[in-house]
Amino acid sequence: MRSEAAAQPGGLERFTSAGKGRGLRARRRYAVGELLFSCPAYTAVLAVSERGSHCDGCFARKEGLSKCGRCKQAFYCDVDCQKEDWPMHKLECSAMCTFGQNWNPSETVRLTARILAKQKTYPERTQSEKLLAVKEFESHLDKLDNEKRELIQNDIAALHHFYSKHLEYPDNAALVVLFAQVNCNGFTIEDEELSHLGSAVFPDVALMNHSCCPNVIVTYKGTLAEVRAVKVIEPGEEVFTSYIDLLYPTEDRNDRLRDSYFFNCDCRECVTKDKDKEKLAIRKLNDPPAAETVWDMIKYARNVIEEFRRAKHYKYILYHLFVVFLDFFIPPSELLEICELSLDKMSAVFEDSNVYMLHMMYQAMGVCLYVQDWEGALRYGQKIIRPYSKHYPSYSLNVASMWLKLGRLYMTLENRAAGVKALKR
CATH code (residue 23)? 2.170.270.10
Instruction: Using the 3D structure, point to which of 269, 290, 314 is the last residue of a domain.
Output: 269
Domain assignment present for residue 1? The answer is: no
pLDDT at 144 over 50: yes
Confidence tier at 331 by pLDDT (50, 70, 90) = confident
Residue-averaged pLDDT of the chain: 91
- Residue 1, pLDDT score: 34
Q: Tell me if 10 is assigned to some domain.
A: no
H-state helical runs in 187-249? 203-206
Model confidence at 209: pLDDT above 60: yes
Instruction: With a cut of 60, say whether residue 234 has pLDDT above it.
Output: yes
Q: Taking a C-beta distance cutoff of 8 angstroms, is the pair 310, 303 a contact?
A: no
Q: Verify that 88 and 164 share a domain, yes or no.
A: yes
Give residue 330's pLDDT: 67
Measured CA to CA, the distance from residue 198 to residue 44 in angstroms comes to: 7
* Same domain, residue pair 175 and 230: no
Q: 13-22, 69-78, 291-300, 314-323: which has the minimum mean pLDDT?
A: 314-323
Q: Tell me how far the alpha carbon of residue 23 is from its chain's centroid.
A: 21
Residues 278 and 419 in one domain: yes
At 78-130, the pLDDT tens digits run: 999 999 999 999 999 989 999 998 999 999 999 999 999 999 988 999 999 99
Mean per-residue pLDDT, 377-406:
96
Are residues 33 and 55 both part of a single domain? no
Is residue 134 in a domain? yes
Q: CA-to-CA distance for 364 and 117, rounded, in angstroms? A: 41
Q: How many domains does the chain have?
A: 3
Same domain (yes/no): 278, 420: yes
Of 127, 158, 189, the one marking the end of a domain is: 189
Confidence of residue 8 (pLDDT cuts 50, 70, 90): low
Calculate what percentage of the chain has a pLDDT beyond 70. 92
User: CATH number of the domain that 160 lies in?
Assistant: 1.10.220.160
CATH number at residue 305: 1.25.40.10
Instruction: Report which secondary-structure segment, H or E, holds 36.
Output: strand 35-40
Residue 45 has pLDDT above 80, yes or no: yes
Tell the burial category of 380 from Cβ atoms under 10 Å away from its Cβ (0-12, 13-18, 19+).
Answer: buried
**171 shares its domain with 215:** no
Nearest 5°: CA angle at 75, between 72 and 79?
A: 105
User: Would the pLDDT of 175 be above 70?
Assistant: yes
Per-residue confidence (pLDDT) for residue 315, from 0 to 100: 36
Are residues 373 and 256 part of one domain?
no
Domain that holds residue 289: 274-424
Average pLDDT over residues 278-293: 93
pLDDT band at 385 (very low <50, low <70, confident <90, very high): very high
211 with 130, same domain: the answer is no
CA 319 from chain centre, in angstroms, equals: 16
pLDDT band at 401 (very low <50, low <70, confident <90, very high): very high
**Domain for residue 65, yes or no?**
yes
Q: Are the C-beta atoms of 406 and 381 separated by less than 8 Å?
A: yes
Identify whether 334 is part of a domain: yes
Among 175, 177, 162, 71, CA closest to 110? 162
Task: Check residue 3 and give its pLDDT.
Answer: 36
183/61 same-domain check: yes
pLDDT at 202 over 70: yes
Q: Are residues 319 and 336 in the same domain?
A: yes
Q: Inform me whether the pLDDT recorded for 224 exceeds 50.
A: yes
Of residues 279, 283, 275, the one with CA closest to residue 346: 283
Q: Name, in order, each residue with C-beta under 8 angstroms of 360's C-beta and a sequence gap of 6 or more.
A: 304, 339, 342, 343, 346
Q: Region 156-164: what's the mean pLDDT?
A: 94
Does residue 196 sit within a domain?
A: no
Indicate whether 59 and 106 sit together in one domain: yes
> Which amino acid is residue 94, in one-letter code?
S
| Residue at a domain's end among 245, 269, 293 | 269
| Residue 176 and residue 224 in one domain | no
DSSP state letter for 233: B
pLDDT, mean of residues 245-267? 96
Q: Is residue 197 part of a domain?
A: no
Quick one: pLDDT at residue 173? 97
Percent of the chain with pLDDT over 90: 82
